[in-house]
Amino acid sequence: MKKAASYLGDKQIAVTESEAVAPQSGEVRLEVAYCGICGTDMHIYHGNMDGRVHMPQIIGHEASGTVVEIGEGVDTCRIGDRVAVRPLWFGDVHPFDKGYPHVGKEVKIIGIDAPGGMQASWTVPAYTLHHLPEGVSLEHGALAEPAAVACHDVRLGRVQDGETVVVIGGGPIGILVALVARGKGARVIVSEINEKRIEKIESLGFEAVNPLEEPLGKVIASKTNERMADVVFEVSGAQAGVDAMTTVLNVRGRIVIVGLHPQPRSVDLFQFFWSELELIGARLYEKEDFDAALELMRVGQLPIEDLITDVYSIENVKAAFEMIENAPEGIKYLVNCGA
C-alpha cells in the first residue's frame, strides 16, 4: 500500500493510504520521492494552525518526485521527469496583488490549504513543477523549496558583493540565507543561541555569534571596526531578534523580516528615523527564486548534503516530528515517501 501522512490534530499524525488522483486538465501526478519537514509543518503539528488546516490533512510542501501521469493540455513536462514542486495555488487575479500573486489575496499553499506532498502519489498543477538539473538528486531536490525562500529573501534584501550581512537565527532557513548571501560576495555573520547549531554554522565556514554571551550589536561593532552591517535578516521569529536587528546596522541599512511573527512586536522606530533604516518583508518565493535555487544546487554552491540531518521512512513520520520537537539543534529532516 502506498502511504500518506495525515495530520489529525493534537500532535497526531496518521499513516494512511495515498490514493492516486487522476490529473485533470493542466495537472500532473507525481510519485513523490522525498518531502521535507518545515517549521510550518511543526506549527501545524502543535495545533497552531488548526483554524486553517482542514483535518484530516495530508501535510508537507517541500517535495520532489517523478512525473508519472499527465493531464490534458500539459506540454511542459514528460513522463519520467524529475521535479521539485513550487507549492502555490494562486486563484483568481485580484487588483490588490499588483502582479505579485505569491503574496496575493487568493494565494493558497498546497500542503497547508490543500493536500500536500507527504504521500506517495500527489496530483498538482503543472505550473508548480521545476525540473531538477542533471546531477541534483531527488533527495536534494526536496530542499529546493526552502532554498527558494532564501533566494527570495536575499534578492529582496539586495545583497551586494562586499557588504556585511547579519543573519539572526541559524536554523534551516537562516543557514540557507547565509549561504545564498555569501554566494553574492557578502561577509556573513550568523547569530544563534543553540550550541550544536553554532558548531554546524562554523563547520560551513561562517562566523557565528551567541548573543546570550555578549550583546550582538557590540560584537558586530568589534568585528567590523564599528562600520556595522549593511543588511540584517531577522529569521528567529523572536522578540529578542527584533530587539537586536536595529542595533547592528549602519546608515541606510536594510532589515529583511523572514521569521514569522504572528503577534505584534515592539520595534525601536527611533533607529529607523535616526539612521534612515529600511524594513523589508519577505514571504515565500517567485518562479525566478526556484530557478535560482536549483541553479545554485547544480553548480554546487549549496552544500545540501551537509544540511540533511536525517531521513525517515513515511511509516516512521511521527518519530521524525518528535525528534524535531525534542532535538531542535537538527537542521533538515526528510521523509522518504516510498517512490
- Co-location of 184 and 272 in the same domain: yes
- In sequence order, what are the beta bridge partners of 281? 257
Task: Tell me the mean pLDDT in the region 204-227.
Answer: 98
- Co-location of 136 and 7 in the same domain: yes
CA contacts within 13 A on the Cβ side of 178: 28
- Co-location of 78 and 115 in the same domain: yes
Domain of 194: which CATH number? 3.40.50.720
User: Is 75 domain-assigned?
Assistant: yes
Instruction: Look at residue 35 in the predicted model and tell me its pLDDT.
Output: 98
Pairing of strands 308-313, 332-336: parallel
User: Is 28 domain-assigned?
Assistant: yes
- Co-location of 236 and 114 in the same domain: no
User: Is 286 domain-assigned?
Assistant: no
| Per-residue pLDDT tens digits for 110-155 | 999 999 999 999 999 999 999 999 999 999 999 999 999 999 999 9
Confidence category of residue 89, pLDDT binned at 50, 70, 90: very high
pLDDT at residue 320 greater than cutoff 70: yes
Before 56, cis peptide (omega within 30)?
Answer: yes
Question: What are the distances in angstroms from CA 180 to CA 191, 292, 302?
Answer: 16, 10, 8
- Co-location of 180 and 133 in the same domain: no
- Co-location of 36 and 94 in the same domain: yes
Domain holding 163, by residue range, is 149-281
The model's pTM is 0.96
Instruction: Look at residue 338 in the predicted model and tell me its pLDDT.
Output: 83
Under 8 Å CB-to-CB from 137, ≥6 apart: which residues? none
Task: Tell me the mean pLDDT in the region 322-336.
Answer: 92
Task: Tell me the mean pLDDT in the region 314-332.
Answer: 93
- Co-location of 184 and 257 in the same domain: yes
Instruction: Look at residue 327 in the predicted model and tell me its pLDDT.
Output: 82
Task: Tell me the mean pLDDT in the region 81-102.
Answer: 96
Confidence category of residue 166, pLDDT binned at 50, 70, 90: very high
Domain of 78: which CATH number? 3.90.180.10
User: Is 8 domain-assigned?
Assistant: yes
Q: Name the residues annotated as catalytic.
A: 40, 43
pLDDT at residue 183 greater than cutoff 60: yes
| Per-residue pLDDT tens digits for 259-279 | 999 899 999 999 999 999 999
Domain tally, the chain? 2
Which residue's entry shows cell 558548531? 199
Pairing of strands 249-257, 229-234: parallel
DSSP 154-173: HHHHT--TT-EEEEE--SHH
- Co-location of 156 and 134 in the same domain: no
Task: Tell me the mean pLDDT in the region 190-216.
Answer: 97
